């Protein structure tokens, strides 16, 4: 029997069958799409953002960039909020909620002014949405009264959040833009205004590729292009950073955060959970691979829990957060030398090249044997070699060498150093 664990979680007072949700985007923009994603196992949907303002979209509107032939490292999107009639969208949400009462419907809304935010919140309540998300973050709106131009203005975020909170009792989630230095500021403003939760991150303003054929950016729309939102695997590190920083902020630490950014696998989702997110949202990977990816998220997460003996997501949510510390709190009194397994080594010399050209010239090269020889004095233990080695577990963390002068400087003692042992 395939292992299946209880992945249910309480998120903003709502019981979710699992934490895997569609983010507000093209992947959840009508009845058939959302019905299909529910059938395939997604716990809920942040329905594509609804406003009274209806956008005019361009063609084409997507681009992706690749590395060494691997496509979709990152993805660029010029599409704005839903271009379907407002009423129809809320009606679709209601129908879906009635058909799938155990699945979670989050109405994503975006108003042009205070009044519209309040009205949209009321419509969401009438549509029987479980939760409401405020989209303060779309970076490619053709109006500056909406989207990330609002999200970077804490006063507007607070004002509109208050409007929604006053209009309805449904918990309100503010979706943040990463096109800002400190996300904690608008997030705190949203909470002050009455928001209960935060979603992060929306897409990053980007130019993915320059087209040499037409001398503009991609995608090429009648010979022109625009800066617009970047998502996918490439943005995950940035998303994790914003989420972790908010969760470590004293005023935000107990807020339920929904993590978004480059999630493709159960491992990606798990990363957001172990830093403290209680929900995760996905779009780009679905655009590339379809809703079916949730099957391996559910199965993979179940296997992880089984291996570790966890019975509930709450057993491990946030466990990694305390171990992410400011740079000045990092212990700097030792170096971990790399250990090269000569039997696994295939002699490509990549460690030698990278160490010489990019680090501390700590390897010598035995031309006859085609093997690196480590100079333990010159080596600073940076592990660049370990990161470029193409053979699994050929270079691993080896001997720990204490730095006597640093021990004295920091008053540190030679006690156990925790070292990562297994690399994939």
Partner 1 sequence: MSKVVKAKYTAEAVAGFTHRTAMEEAARCLLCLDAPCSEGCPAGTDPGKFIRSIRFRNAKGAAETIRENNILGGSCARVCPYDRLCEEFCSRTGIDKPIQIGKLQRYAIEQEKAYKMEILKAPDKKKNGKVACVGAGPASLACAAELAKEGYRVTIFEKHEKPGGVLTYGITPSRLPRAVVDHDIAQVKKLGVKFVLNTEVGKDVNLEDMDFDAIFVGVGLWGSRVPDIKGVELKGVYKAIDFLKEAAEKKKDFDPGKAVIVVGGGDVAIDCAVTAKLLGGGDVKIVYRRTLEEAPSNMDEWHYAMSLGIGVTTNMAPAELLGKGKNVEYAMFTGRDKKSELKLACDTVVFAIGQEPYNVDKIADVKLNEKGGIAAKATGKTNVAKIFAAGDIVNNGKTVVEAVAEGKEAAASIIKYLEKKGVK
Residues at the interface with partner 1 (CB under 8 A): 68-70, 346-350, 352-353, 365, 367, 370, 390-391
Quick one: 70 or 327, whose CB is closer to partner 1?
70
187 in Cβ contact with 245 (< 8 Å)? no
Quick one: 100 or 423, whose CB is closer to partner 1?
423
Minimum Å gap between C-beta 217 and partner 1 is 18
- Joined together, the tokens standing for residue 111 give 């108003």
Quick one: 319 or 391, whose CB is closer to partner 1?
391
Q: Which of 14, 203, 212, 199 is nearest to 103 (CA)?
A: 14
Minimum Å gap between C-beta 353 and partner 1 is 5
Q: Which residues of 367-386 are buried (b: 16+ CB within 10 A; e: fewer)?
A: eeeebbebeeeebebbbbbb
Among all chains, which residue has been given the structure tokens 């989420």?
Answer: 243
DSSP code for 22: E
Minimum Å gap between C-beta 344 and partner 1 is 9
Quick one: 213 or 307, whose CB is closer to partner 1?
213
Q: Is 379 a catalytic residue?
A: no
- Joined together, the tokens standing for residue 252 give 């935000």
Q: At what angle do helices 266-274 and 236-247 cross, to 10 degrees?
A: 20
Exactly one of 138, 243, 355, 385 is catalytic; name it.
Answer: 138
Minimum Å gap between C-beta 335 and partner 1 is 24
Q: What is the DSSP code string of 202-256?
A: -PEEE---EETTTTEESSPBTTB---EEEESGGGHHHHHHHHHHHHTSTTTTTSE
Minimum Å gap between C-beta 337 and partner 1 is 21
Among all chains, which residue has been given the structure tokens 């209009």?
Answer: 167
Contacts made by residues 314-320, CB under 8 angstroms, sequence distance 24+: 314/9, 316/273, 316/274, 317/273, 317/274, 317/276, 317/277, 317/278, 318/247, 318/274, 318/275, 318/276, 319/274, 320/274, 320/275
Quick one: 270 or 345, whose CB is closer to partner 1?
345
C-alpha to C-alpha distance for 183 and 151, rounded to whole angstroms: 9
C-alpha to C-alpha distance for 309 and 143, rounded to whole angstroms: 50
Quick one: 67 or 329, whose CB is closer to partner 1?
67
C-alpha to C-alpha distance for 116 and 74, rounded to whole angstroms: 33
Minimum Å gap between C-beta 351 and partner 1 is 9
Q: Mind telling me the catalytic residues?
A: 138
């Amino acid at each position: 029997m395939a292992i299946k664990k209880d992945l249910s979680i309480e998120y903003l007072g709502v019981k979710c069958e699992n934490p895997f949700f569609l983010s507000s985007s093209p992947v959840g923009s009508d009845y058939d799409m959302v019905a299909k994603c529910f059938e395939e196992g997604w716990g809920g949907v942040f329905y594509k953002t609804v406003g009274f303002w209806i956008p005019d979209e361009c063609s084409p509107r997507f681009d992706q960039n690749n590395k060494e032939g691997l496509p979709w490292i990152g993805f660029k999107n010029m599409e704005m909020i839903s271009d379907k009639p407002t009423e129809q969208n809320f009606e679709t949400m209601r129908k879906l909620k009635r058909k799938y009462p155990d699945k979670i419907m989050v109405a994503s809304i975006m108003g042009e002014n205070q009044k519209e935010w309040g009205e949209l919140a009321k419509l969401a309540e009438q549509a029987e949405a479980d939760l409401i998300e405020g989209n303060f973050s779309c970076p490619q709106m053709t109006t500056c009264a909406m989207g990330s131009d609002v999200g970077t203005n804490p006063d507007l975020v607070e004002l509109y959040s208050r409007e929604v909170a006053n209009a309805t009792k449904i918990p309100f989630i503010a979706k943040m833009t990463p096109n800002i230095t400190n996300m904690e500021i608008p997030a705190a403003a949203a909470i002050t205004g009455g928001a209960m939760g935060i979603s992060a991150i929306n897409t990053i303003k980007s130019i993915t590729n320059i087209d040499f054929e037409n001398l503009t950016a991609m995608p090429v729309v009648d010979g022109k292009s625009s800066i617009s939102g970047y998502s996918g695997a490439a943005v995950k590190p940035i998303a994790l950073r914003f989420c972790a920083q908010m969760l470590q902020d004293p005023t935000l630490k107990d807020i339920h955060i929904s993590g978004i950014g480059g999630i493709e696998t159960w491992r990606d989702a798990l990363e957001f959970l172990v830093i403290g997110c209680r929900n995760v949202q996905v779009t780009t990977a679905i655009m590339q691979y379809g809703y079916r990816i949730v099957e391996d998220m559910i199965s993979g997460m179940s296997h992880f829990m089984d291996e570790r003996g966890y019975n509930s997501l709450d057993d491990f949510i946030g466990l990694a957060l305390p171990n992410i510390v400011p740079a000045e709190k990092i212990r700097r009194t030792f170096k971990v030398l790399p250990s090269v397994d000569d039997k696994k080594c295939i002699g490509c010399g990549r460690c030698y090249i990278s160490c010489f050209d990019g680090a501390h010239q700590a390897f010598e090269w035995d031309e006859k044997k085609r093997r690196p020889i480590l100079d333990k004095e010159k080596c600073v233990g940076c592990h660049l070699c370990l990161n470029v080695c193409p053979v699994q577990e050929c270079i691993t963390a080896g001997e720990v060498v204490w730095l006597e002068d640093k021990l004295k400087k920091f008053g540190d003692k030679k006690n156990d150093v925790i070292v990562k042992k297994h690399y994939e």
